[in-house]
């Protein structure tokens, strides 16, 4: 029998399911320190954990370990790369906690609006401070939701009973899907300037660090409220601190750098602080435990790898093509504008890549949306796109075109007036080097997407390259290589300029204005 160690306070249903199966010997211990349990059970086959840290040392201490299941969505406490090196599959249970977090958002809104915590404290102490606790009603208010994944969509659903106007922002969700959800599509600026409540539901990491900063906070209405049950770091605390009192803003928080006791950096600006209670419900615990057990059984009996978050690439596929798919997708997304909702993704996989199209699609989604995990599988990718209302078409590649082993990615995005606009890239790998061969109408480019690269699309005319060069020279930025193809049919030119360093968004805007470009962007690979 396979030993399963559950060193955490997880609902007993996981152990019950595994014991009933008959193929597992389950040890669940919530009292003994985790490290001591590891020493006592070196024959552990599978670990089921919640927020426990599973570093390389613990993985190395369990020579028979084959599976780690995180009973929850986030798995940043597990060293997934080291697990892969050791042949250990890591799985999670995404969505199990979504409703718990969504309901917590509503609870925090109500508790703050009606002064529930303070009123209980003073009344329990014998006071009667009714006049000090004049509240607000949520009904009829405008609520902005930033991020429309499982939790964001559930928040919108729960708010319908309050007859709120709901604004939503998510670059991947198209307007038709938002309309089906009863949500008005809005930019970040519109959400922060129009909302009475802004609730955050985007992933953490560098792409969202400081997202809610001086600019967006400065747009907020007098007395508006920010709710952060997503990740620490999304809100720039200093930016909020600078204007909070003046604008009468409210800040409700449930996320921290570490889940532990001790002083909290936002204590002076948070009007309501909870100890990361979003997923802390009996129902969420039960659902996560049940899914964890079933995922382990399905992996063993059906080879179902749909929940593995650290898969290795399949035999026969070069890793360079996974990186190529990721980089091409990132490039075409930036070309289309990261704020433009995507309506359709079309792909073509040529030559020997055709059998790996589903695998490469995951890398493509990760390139388009930086927080979509590259360790997901195709099943998770298609579900994600379905939830976002995005159509995915894998076109049959024409071998007669002679592209060799190449990848083409087309994006159709919504622009103003609900019109659709297409953007396209194609690339390959030559002697182990990634190569971009086409961007829209510009073919035979053959440049390597490495380092810092400036792209500038403009209407063809003399003097543009000179103007760009002057701007770069004035900023002491050196040009290392350049391509400047022209298209006689569209009368457009594309400047592709390798630089010795990245350039700022302000510089990009200055170049765009100087040459009246269709777009300027700088990629860093």
**Which string of b and e fits 25-37 if b means at least 16 CB within 10 Å?**
ebbbeeeeebeeb
Looking at 2.60.40.10, 3.30.70.260, 3.30.70.20, 3.40.309.10, the CATH number of the domain 451-525 comes to: 3.30.70.260
Please choose, from the candidates 322, 379, 361, 312, the residue with its C-alpha nearest in 3D space to the C-alpha of residue 89. 312
From CA 519, how far away is CA 165, in angstroms rounded?
34
The per-residue pLDDT for 418 is 67
Query: What are the pLDDT digits (tens) for 436-471?
Result: 999 999 999 988 888 899 999 999 999 999 999 999
Give the CATH fold of the 313-449 domain. Answer: 60s Ribosomal Protein L30; Chain: A; (3.30.1330)
The residue extents of the domains of the chain are 2-96+282-302, 98-273, 313-449, 451-525
Q: Evaluate whether the domain defined by 2-96+282-302 bears CATH number 3.30.1540.10.
A: no
Low-confidence ranges of the chain (pLDDT < 50): none
Q: Is the pTM of this model over 0.85?
A: no
**Three-state DSSP state, 95:** coil
The per-residue pLDDT for 249 is 97
Residue 8 is given by DSSP the state: S
Q: Quick one: angle between helices 505-515 and 464-474, nearest 10?
A: 150
Please choose, from the candidates 377, 331, 319, 510, the residue with its C-alpha nearest in 3D space to the C-alpha of residue 91. 377
The per-residue pLDDT for 57 is 96
Looking at 1.10.10.10, 3.40.50.2000, 3.40.630.10, 3.40.50.720, the CATH number of the domain 98-273 comes to: 3.40.50.720
The per-residue pLDDT for 71 is 93
Please choose, from the candidates 193, 189, 196, the residue with its C-alpha nearest in 3D space to the C-alpha of residue 166. 196
From CA 97, how far away is CA 283, in angstroms rounded?
8
Residue the block writes with tokens 């409703």: 99
Query: What are the pLDDT digits (tens) for 137-179?
Result: 999 999 999 998 889 999 999 999 999 999 999 877 777 788 8
Q: Do domains 2-96+282-302 and 98-273 have the same CATH topology?
A: yes
The per-residue pLDDT for 419 is 79
From CA 475, how far away is CA 243, in angstroms rounded?
33
**Which string of b and e fits 286-307 if b means at least 16 CB within 10 Å?**
bbbbbbbbbbbbbbbeeebeeb
Please choose, from the candidates 45, 101, 46, the residue with its C-alpha nearest in 3D space to the C-alpha of residue 72. 101
């Amino acid at each position: 029998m396979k030993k399963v160690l559950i060193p955490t306070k997880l609902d007993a249903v996981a152990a019950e399911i595994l014991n009933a199966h008959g193929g597992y010997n389950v040890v669940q211990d919530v009292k003994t320190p985790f490290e001591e349990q590891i020493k006592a059970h070196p024959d552990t086959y599978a670990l089921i954990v919640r927020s426990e840290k599973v570093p390389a040392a613990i993985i190395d201490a369990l020579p028979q370990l084959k599976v780690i299941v995180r009973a929850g969505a986030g798995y940043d406490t597990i060293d997934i790369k080291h697990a892969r090196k050791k042949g250990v599959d890591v799985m999670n249970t995404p969505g199990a906690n979504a409703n718990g977090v969504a309901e917590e958002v509503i609870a925090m809104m109500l508790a703050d609006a009606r002064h529930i915590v303070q009123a209980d404290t003073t009344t329990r102490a014998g006071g009667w401070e009714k006049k000090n606790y004049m509240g607000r009603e949520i009904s009829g208010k405008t609520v902005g939701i930033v991020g429309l994944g499982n939790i964001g969509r559930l928040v919108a659903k729960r708010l319908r009973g309050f007859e709120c106007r709901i604004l939503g922002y998510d670059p991947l969700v198209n307007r038709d899907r938002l309309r089906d959800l009863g949500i008005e599509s809005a930019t970040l600026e519109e959400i922060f300037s129009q909302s009475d409540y802004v609730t955050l539901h985007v992933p953490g990491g560098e792409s969202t660090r400081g997202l809610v900063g001086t600019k967006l906070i400065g747009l907020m209405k007098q007395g508006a409220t920010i709710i952060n049950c997503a990740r620490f770091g999304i809100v720039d605390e200093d930016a909020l601190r600078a204007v909070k009192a003046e604008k009468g803003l409210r800040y409700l928080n449930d996320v921290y750098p570490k889940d532990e006791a001790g002083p909290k950096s936002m204590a002076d600006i948070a009007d309501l602080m909870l100890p990361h209670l979003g997923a802390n419900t009996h129902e969420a615990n039960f659902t996560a435990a049940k899914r964890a057990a079933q995922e382990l059984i399905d992996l063993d009996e059906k080879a179902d790898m749909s929940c593995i978050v650290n898969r290795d690439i399949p035999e026969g596929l070069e890793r360079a093509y996974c990186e190529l798919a990721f980089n091409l997708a990132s490039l075409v997304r930036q070309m289309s504008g990261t704020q433009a909702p995507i309506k359709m993704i079309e792909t073509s996989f040529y030559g020997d890549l055709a059998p790996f199209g589903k695998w490469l699609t995951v890398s493509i989604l990760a390139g388009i949306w930086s927080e979509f995990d590259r360790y997901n599988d195709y099943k998770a990718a298609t579900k994600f796109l379905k939830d976002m209302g995005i159509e995915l078409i894998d076109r049959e590649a024409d071998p007669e075109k002679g592209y060799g082993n190449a990848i083409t990615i087309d994006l159709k995005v919504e622009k103003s007036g609900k019109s659709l606009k297409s953007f396209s890239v194609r690339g390959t790998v030559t002697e182990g080097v990634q190569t971009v061969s086409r961007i829209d109408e510009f073919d035979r480019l053959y440049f390597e997407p490495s380092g810092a690269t400036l792209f500038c699309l403009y209407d063809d005319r003399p003097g543009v390259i000179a103007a760009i060069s002057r701007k770069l020279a004035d900023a002491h930025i050196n040009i290392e290589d350049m391509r400047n193809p022209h298209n006689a049919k569209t009368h457009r030119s594309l400047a592709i300029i390798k630089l010795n360093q990245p350039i700022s968004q302000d510089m990009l805007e200055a170049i765009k204005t100087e040459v009246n470009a269709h777009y300027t962007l700088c990629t860093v690979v």
